[in-house]
Amino acid sequence: MKEIAITEIEQIRIGNAQNREAATGCTVILCEEGATAGVDVRGGGPASRETQLLNPLAAADKIHAVLLSGGSAFGLDAAGGVMKYLEERGVGVDTGVAKVPLVCTSCLFDLQIGSKDIRPDREMGYRACSGDYRDGNYGAGTGATVGKFKGTEFMMKTGIGSFALQEGPLKIGAIAAVNALGDVFDYQTGEQIAGLLNEEKNGLRSTEKEMYRQCLEVRDLFTGNTTLGAIITNADFDKAQMNKIAAMAQNGYARSIRPVHTQADGDTVYALSTGEVTADLNAVGTLAAQVMAEAIRSAVFSAEPAYGLPCAADFMKKGNV
């Protein structure tokens, strides 16, 4: 099995757009030929649009894009720009009156470090469709942070990351915009690599331990977090099976983020298939968890310090990660 770039999966295009001053952005996964897709939502505070299309009981067999956006629920507006881009190219479900592009969207909360008044909108969504994809402080990862249990003073900068593998003709990859309440761990070593800063801000401490110490206090953490991810594969599965793969990919979240799936997160995983290769569902679902964990790791180590917040690379230099 060899590592490949996420952009090497055929029939998929990925683009970023961002406003660095406002600390927000969006990332679009375009599948203009249509992709069979599923979703798994486990966080208590999701902001989403058209995700119900992916219910196996819904009529739509395929979708045309997934948009991961900042801006909290305000960022859902960016989907209109993606729809405009696809409509201009004749992409969508033919209703006999117009072709309607199906764009599933989820948003994370990044309003606390940049501008609370500037969010991804139709213009930014449209621009992302022609943009290039990069890991780091780009797209939906522009304003992403982790370790927020003690407030913004002790959180760290993260970003968006990707990872993909190929085994014979099978290709599978993941994208993750990591914006969790909790901490991030290297899934292979168990080492904490990002999260809640200590009081001196020269190292890390455990969100779980801090949470347990204050477990008798009822805290309003608000839904200001959310890790958004997407699995992309050329394996051929139906919508119900893609929902299962999205659910199995959540194991990548659980291996890498603690705590995860809280009421203060909107943790969501999409799964898209271009349907070119016959493969085993259990094997692909297991791989989905692995590539998701790797994408989360990539989101941490590709991030750069920004907005006065340190990143994992800063602590690696000091030997504290």
**E strand intervals along the chain:** 2-4, 13-19, 24-41, 47-49, 63-69, 93-94, 99-100, 103-107, 145-146, 156-157, 160-167, 170-177, 183-185, 192-194, 228-235, 257-258, 268-277
What band does 219 get if pLDDT is binned at 50, 70 and 90? low
More confident residue, 320 or 50: 50
Q: Taking the model in full, what pTM does it have?
A: 0.95
**What is the average pLDDT across 285-293?**
98
Sign of CA dihedral 313, 17, 38, 221: positive
Q: How far apart are CA 23 and CA 141, in angstroms?
A: 9
Strands 170-177 and 160-167: antiparallel
What band does 224 get if pLDDT is binned at 50, 70 and 90? low
Provide the pLDDT for residue 37. 98
In degrees, to the nearest 5, what angle opens at C-alpha 40 toward C-alphas 234 and 61?
50
Q: How far apart are CA 148 and CA 98, in angstroms?
A: 45
Residue 307: CB atoms within 10 A of its CB come to 16
Kindly tell me if the per-residue pLDDT of 222 is higher than 60: no
Closest CA to 139 of 123, 130, 152, 128: 128
Tokens 């659980």 found at: 254
Provide the pLDDT for residue 15. 98
Least confident of 82-91, 213-222, 292-301: 213-222
Provide the pLDDT for residue 238. 97
- Please provide the average confidence, as pLDDT, over all residues in the chain: 94
Provide the pLDDT for residue 262. 85
Kindly tell me if the per-residue pLDDT of 319 is higher than 80: no
Question: 128's torsion region: left (phi>0), alpha (psi -120 to 50) or beta?
Answer: alpha
Sign of CA dihedral 273, 276, 282, 287: negative
Q: pLDDT digit string (tens) for 38-72? A: 999 987 788 999 999 999 999 999 999 999 999 99
Provide the pLDDT for residue 28. 98
**What is the average pLDDT across 265-275?**
94
Provide the pLDDT for residue 317. 59
Provide the pLDDT for residue 264. 76
**What is the average pLDDT across 80-107?**
97
**What is the average pLDDT across 175-198?**
96
Q: pLDDT digit string (tens) for 140-175? A: 999 999 999 998 899 999 999 999 999 999 999 999
Tokens coding 108: 């994370």
**What is the average pLDDT across 187-197?**
96
Radius of gyration of the chain from its Cα atoms, rounded to whole angstroms: 18
Q: How far apart are CA 220 and CA 222, in angstroms?
A: 6
Provide the pLDDT for residue 56. 95
CB of 299 within 8 A of CB of 160? yes
Q: pLDDT digit string (tens) for 108-118? A: 999 988 888 99
Provide the pLDDT for residue 3. 98
Kindly tell me if the per-residue pLDDT of 223 is higher than 80: no
